Amino acid sequence: METIVTRFAPSPTGYLHIGGLRTALFNYLYARANKGKFLLRIEDTDLARNSTDAKEAIIQAFEWVGMDYDGEVVYQSQRFPLYQQYIEQLLKEGKAYYCYMSKEELDLLREEQRKRGETPRYDNRYRDFQGTPPSGIQPVVRIKAPLSGEICFKDGVKGEMRIAAKELDDFIIARSDGTPTYNFCVAIDDALMGVTDVIRGDDHLSNTPKQIIIYEALGFKVPRFFHVPMILNPQGHKLSKRDGAMSVMEYKEMGYLPEALLNFLVRLGWSHGDQEIFSKKEMLEFFNPNDLNSAPSAYNQEKLLWLNSHYIRELSNDSLNRLLSENFNVEVPQERVQEILYPEIKERSKTLVDFVEILKDCLQMPKSYDEKMQHKVSSEENIRLLGEFCAYIKALKKPIATAQEVENEMATFADFHGIKAKVLFVPLRYALLGKSGGVGIAPLLASLEKEEIIKRIQNALESFKG
């Protein structure tokens, strides 16, 4: 059986964004599910625009989401002699030629073609040139494209593709300074790296016939292609940074889990029945590129948040503590506090940033008080109840260990004062957190030391005087 070999080949001119990560994920899943190879190649031939930071960010993103690759990372910038070898082979075999057409001549030709209503294209004037080359012109190298017929290939997403030869000209494979062009490098590398299946965005669809011409000119086997529709924003337009097309590592900083991001991306263009939540094991079991959708997918921020909250709830306390410590430099609370507060905070957190903020609200003395809430709870009755509850807490002989014990004590206090326990909730929330929202009062009180509770209530009572 043929070994499946896929690759991900980003250019390091910008940071890896989620569209690129989705492409990498599809290639990764197909290779791993079939016990094949998944390769990483950095297409850094554009020396002027390359970014070292972007290269490192690509590697970091792979490490963060847990996608490994086979062998060493391949850098195209280190393979120029190899590309030159194949350019010379094509020139020697008469399958490519030097073109001495100046930029000014090419611009003039295209302008005349436009005036005649024709598609601007090179006119092959140097294809069979035998004369004396013009002086002062550093030539480019063009490949001889077919003059008739069609270039055909079956795309795993879009079906049978047929491109008339007349739609292509003899395109450039080496610039005047000798550097090879994108399509030439891609075809050479995919062939030499043994890539059997190319899964990529459909913005590359127009490159495919050119790459097939190069494959066939050199006698290389043509791989299978799968061109996946781009991710669009909810309005059906190209995804912008505002919509979510950010660096993958920005998602980490915003408190997303890699499991959630991969689960979100795998469903953008692929499905398995009505299932929405996939473990990596399930992705590997079910993913097949033949099931990729031919229609574009829309980025849905709410769905990503929903998935992220699901995976946060699934985290063990140990895993959560490691993330809080490593990613957010948060001091991990006592185990007793974790057992009480973490389940409560998980239910209220869509991101790890949410979790950190709620945890800090619980464990730190309020630095300020919400003015609207202060106005709401500043009645004489509420102030009196807070003072009485503070005295009640002071008088307790033993610490309150659980939320249930807190509820029992609050019920006892409420019965004594002839009120319902819930009457205490709003003023206590103001005293303990300084604002509305947050975890339940009972677990919050159970997580705090007695002295801390007393201090917070006393501070709140002082705030009313102001």
| Residue showing tokens 């004062």 | 417
The pairing of beta strand 159-164 with beta strand 297-298: unpaired
Catalytic residue check, 394? no
Give buried/exposed letters for 152-162 (b at 16+ CB in 10 A, else e).
ebebbbbeebe
Q: How far is the CA of 265 from the CAs of 30, 65, 293, in angstroms?
A: 15, 12, 13
Q: Do 7 and 40 contact (CB within 8 A), yes or no?
A: yes
**DSSP string computed for 28-62:** HHHHHHTT-EEEEEE----TTT--HHHHHHHHHHH
Token pair recorded at residue 169? 């000209």
Is the CA virtual torsion 452, 453, 457, 460 positive or negative? positive
**Residue 115, SS3 per DSSP:** helix
The pairing of beta strand 140-143 with beta strand 172-174: antiparallel
Instruction: Please list the residues that pair with 161 across neighbouring strands.
Output: 153
Token pair recorded at residue 136? 């002062």
Closest CA to 345 of 263, 255, 458: 255
Q: How far is the CA of 165 from the CAs of 169, 170, 235, in angstroms?
A: 8, 10, 36
List 154, 241, 360, 420, catalytic entry: 241
Token pair recorded at residue 102? 């100046």
Instruction: Give the helix ranges, DSSP H, for 193-227.
Output: 208-218
Cα–Cα distance between 430 and 366 in angstroms, integer? 9
Cα–Cα distance between 87 and 149 in angstroms, integer? 25
The residues carrying an active-site annotation are 241
